Structure 1
Amino acid sequence: MMELLDYLQDPELVARFQRRCGLFLVEASCRGPERTRSQNGVQLHRENTHGSERRGSWDHQDKNSNHKPTLNGPCANSCSRPQYEVKNWLLHFLFLFSSSLGHEVFYITGLPCIHWNLDPFLCRRLVNMWTLVMYIGQVMKDVLRLPRPSSPPVVKLEPRVDAEYGLPSTHAMAATSIFFTLLLSAPSRVQFQFEIGLLIAVTLSSLVCLSRIYTGMHSVLDVACGFLISAVIILVTYPFWESFDRFQLTNPFSPVVALSLLLFLSYTYPELDHYTTTRGDTTTILGVCAGCSVGYWVSEQLGQTFEPQGLPVPFPTLTAPSVALGVGRFLLGVVALVGTRQIVKTLSLQMLYAWYRVPKTDKNARRRKEIEVPSKFATYTAVGLVNSILVNRFFAFIGLL
Structure 2
Amino acid sequence: MYVGQVMKDVLKLPRPLSPPVVKLETRVDAEYGLPSTHAMAATAISFTVLLSAPSRIQFQFEVGLLIALTLSSLVCLSRLYTGMHSVLDVLCGVLISAAILFFTFPYWEAFDRLQLTSRVSPIAALSLPLLLSYTYPAPPDGFSTTRGDTTTILGAGAGSSVGYWANEQLGRTFEPRRALLPVALPALTPGALARGGARFLVGAAALLATRQAAKTLSLRALHSWHGVPEGDGNARRRREIEVPYKFVTYTAVGLVNSMLVSRVFVLLGIL
Q: State the TM-score, normalized to the length of structure 1.
A: 0.66
- Whether the aligned pair in 1 keeps the contact of 2:40 and 2:96 (CA below 8 Å) is yes
2:135 is aligned with 1:268: yes
1:379 alignment counterpart: 249
For residue 66 of structure 2, what is the amino acid of its counterpart?
L
Q: Distance in 2 between matches of 1:342 and 1:303?
A: 30
1:168-193 CA distance string (max 9 Å, x none): 00000000000000000111111111
Equivalent residue number for residue 47 of structure 2: 180
Q: In structure 1, what is the Cα distance between the partners aligned to 2:102 and 2:244?
A: 33
1-structure distance, mates of 2:253, 2:231: 26
Following TM superposition, by how much is the alpha carbon of 1:322 offset from its aligned partner in structure 2, in angstroms?
A: 0.9
Which residue in the other structure is 1:307 paired with?
A: 175
Aligned AA for 2:212? Q
Q: How does 1:98-177 map to 2 (within 5 A)?
A: 134-177=1-44
Deviation at 1:364, TM superposition (A): 1.1
* 1:39-85 deviations in Å (ceiling 9; x for gaps): xxxxxxxxxxxxxxxxxxxxxxxxxxxxxxxxxxxxxxxxxxxxxxx
Match of 1:336 among 187, 197, 206: 206
* SS in structure 2 at match of 1:301: helix
Q: Distance in 2 between matches of 1:268 and 1:390?
A: 31
- Determine the structure 2 residue equivalent to 1:277: 145
Higher alpha-carbon Rg = 1
- Greater RCO structure (CA 8 Å; 6+ sep): 2
1:276 Cα offset (Å)? 2.6
Rounded Cα–Cα distance in structure 2 between residues aligned with 1:355 and 1:143: 32
Aligned match for 1:292, one of 144, 150, 160: 160
1:347 aligns with 2:217: yes
Residue identity matched to 2:144: T
Q: What residue identity is the alignment partner of 1:184?
A: L
By how many angstroms is 1:213 displaced? 0.6
> C-alpha distance in 2, partners of 1:142/1:340?
31
Q: Is the 8 A contact 2:36 2:90 kept in 1?
A: yes
Does the 8 Å contact 2:13/2:32 carry over to 1? yes
The AA in structure 1 aligned to 2:268 is I
Which amino acid counterpart does residue 226 of structure 1 have in structure 2?
A: G
Residue in structure 2 matching 1:211, options 42, 57, 78: 78
Aligned length in residues:
268
CA distance in 2, matches of 1:156, 1:364: 26
Following superposition, the deviation at residue 394 of structure 1 comes to 1.1
By how many angstroms is 1:395 displaced? 1.0
Q: Which residue of 1 aligns with 2:69?
A: 202
**Local SS of the residue matching 1:285:** helix
TM-score when normalising by structure 2: 0.97
The aligned amino acid for 1:257 is: A
User: Which residue identity is paired with 1:288?
Assistant: A
Q: Shift of the alpha carbon at 1:316?
A: 1.2
1:275-319 CA distances to partner (integer Å, 9 max, x unpaired)?
A: 331000000011011101110000000000001231110011100
Aligned residue among 70, 76, 98 for 1:231: 98
SS at match of 2:27: helix
* Cα separation, 1, equivalents of 2:172 and 2:112: 16
Distance in 2 between the 1:359 and 1:302 partners? Answer: 42
Structure 2 residue runs of 5 or longer lacking an equivalent are: none
Among 192, 195, 205, which residue is 1:322 paired with? 192
Q: Report matched runs for 1:33-44 at 5 Å.
A: none
Structure with more of its chain in helix, by fraction: 2
Distance 2:102 2:80 in 1: 26
- Please tell me whether the aligned partners of residues 138 and 144 of structure 2 are also in contact (alpha carbons under 8 angstroms): no
Native 8 Å contact 1:161 1:276 kept in 2: no
Q: What is the rounded CA distance, in whole Å, between the counterparts of 1:329 and 1:160 in structure 2? A: 31
What SS does the corresponding residue of 2:174 show, helix, strand or coil? Answer: coil
Q: What CA distance in whole angstroms lies between the structure 1 residues aligned with 2:25 and 2:225?
A: 34
